[in-house]
């Protein structure tokens, strides 16, 4: 299937407070963010025209920017309103939303205190992120909290994710399993990870990577079901003994992991239940807003 370049599509992108035709949403080649990764972004999904946990995502964008040393020129309520307007302007219902904020082109060098801050919001149709997900160990580890701003959804932190995912795909896998700086299980390149052993769900402590909004939602759903859930350090070898493994994320939603290298896993009852519960929650939220 031929790729449709993301810079050559019909539609509208919200850019710095106004809508511009999709193909005209440009930035200069000497923008600081392009050279020094001074950018943050969000990933959101709309169901029936309603973005799930929109305000939480908008707040995280603002918080990520502050971690990166800059203030957005728009508040959370303004970002919420712009997101809703972008979905309506493009006539979409079920879609993916990508807000992004970056430092502009006023300064070129490591320092960028006087660079302008730009914000854009794009929306497009995007189906399932994973299919038949199989993982293999990543070629890079997640950085320590003392080495990078790990609690910001910062663009620069995804460089090693791209490299690790490319290496995994070259071996025939769907994604890479990333460890933290001490060799414990962290996440995939774009989703949080859970394993089920017996009647208990285990997931890594989110103090060394982004504590995903979908992750938090699925944990709440598990607790509502009375399912035991533990956050702890997990050694990679423990995954071989798991009964089920699944991942969560805005793009991934809730997706079963079918294999890690040559260890296979079924689509088990816990994963299936949480997939159904999450699907029901997103649709119910959209229906409530519509009503």
Residue 141, phi then psi, degrees to nearest 5: -95, 155
Three-class HEC string of 171-190: CCCCEEEEECCCCCEEEECC
253 backbone φψ class: left, alpha, beta (φ>0; ψ -120 to 50): left
Q: Residue 268 corresponds to which tokens in the numbers above?
A: 């088990």
Active-site option among 53, 84, 153, 165: 153
Question: What is the Cα–Cα distance from 217 to 198, expressed in whole angstroms?
Answer: 22
b/e for 63-75, b at 16 or more Cβ within 10 A? bbbeebebebebe
Catalytic residue check, 197: no
20, 73 contact by CB (below 8 A): no
Question: What is the Cα–Cα distance from 149 to 185, expressed in whole angstroms?
Answer: 19
Strands (E), the chain: 12-15, 18-21, 39-41, 44-47, 50-51, 95-103, 117-124, 133-137, 175-179, 185-188, 192-197, 200-204, 229-232, 244-249, 253-260, 263-264
Question: What is the Cα–Cα distance from 104 to 11, expressed in whole angstroms?
Answer: 24
180, 230 contact by CB (below 8 A): no
Catalytic residues: 153
């Amino acid at each position: 299937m031929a790729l449709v370049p993301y810079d050559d599509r019909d539609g509208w992108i919200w850019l710095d407070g106004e809508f511009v035709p999709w193909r005209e949403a440009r930035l200069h080649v000497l923008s600081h963010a392009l050279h020094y990764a001074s950018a943050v972004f969000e990933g959101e999904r709309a169901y029936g025209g309603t973005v799930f946990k929109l305000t939480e995502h908008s707040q995280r964008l603002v918080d990520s920017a502050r971690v990166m040393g800059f203030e957005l020129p728009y508040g959370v309520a303004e970002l919420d309103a712009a997101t809703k307007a972008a979905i309506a302007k493009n006539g979409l219902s079920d879609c993916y939303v990508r807000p992004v904020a970056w430092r502009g082109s006023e300064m070129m060098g490591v320092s960028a205190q006087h660079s302008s801050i730009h914000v854009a919001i794009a929306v497009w149709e995007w189906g399932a992120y994973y299919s038949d997900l199989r993982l293999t160990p990543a070629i890079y580890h997640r950085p320590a909290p003392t080495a990078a701003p790990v609690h910001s959804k910062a663009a620069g932190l995804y460089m090693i994710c791209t490299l690790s995912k490319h290496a995994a795909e070259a071996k025939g896998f769907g994604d890479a399993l990333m460890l933290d700086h001490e060799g414990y299980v962290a996440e995939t390149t774009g989703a949080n990870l859970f394993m089920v052993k017996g009647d208990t769900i285990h997931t890594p402590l989110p103090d060394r990577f982004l504590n995903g909004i979908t992750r938090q939602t699925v944990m709440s759903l598990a607790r509502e079901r009375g399912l035991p859930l533990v956050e702890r350090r997990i050694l990679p070898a423990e995954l071989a003994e798991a009964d089920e493994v699944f991942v969560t994320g805005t793009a991934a939603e809730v997706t079963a992991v079918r294999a890690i290298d040559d260890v296979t896993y079924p689509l088990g009852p816990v994963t299936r239940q949480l997939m159904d519960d999450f699907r029901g929650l997103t649709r119910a939220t959209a229906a409530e807003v519509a009503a």
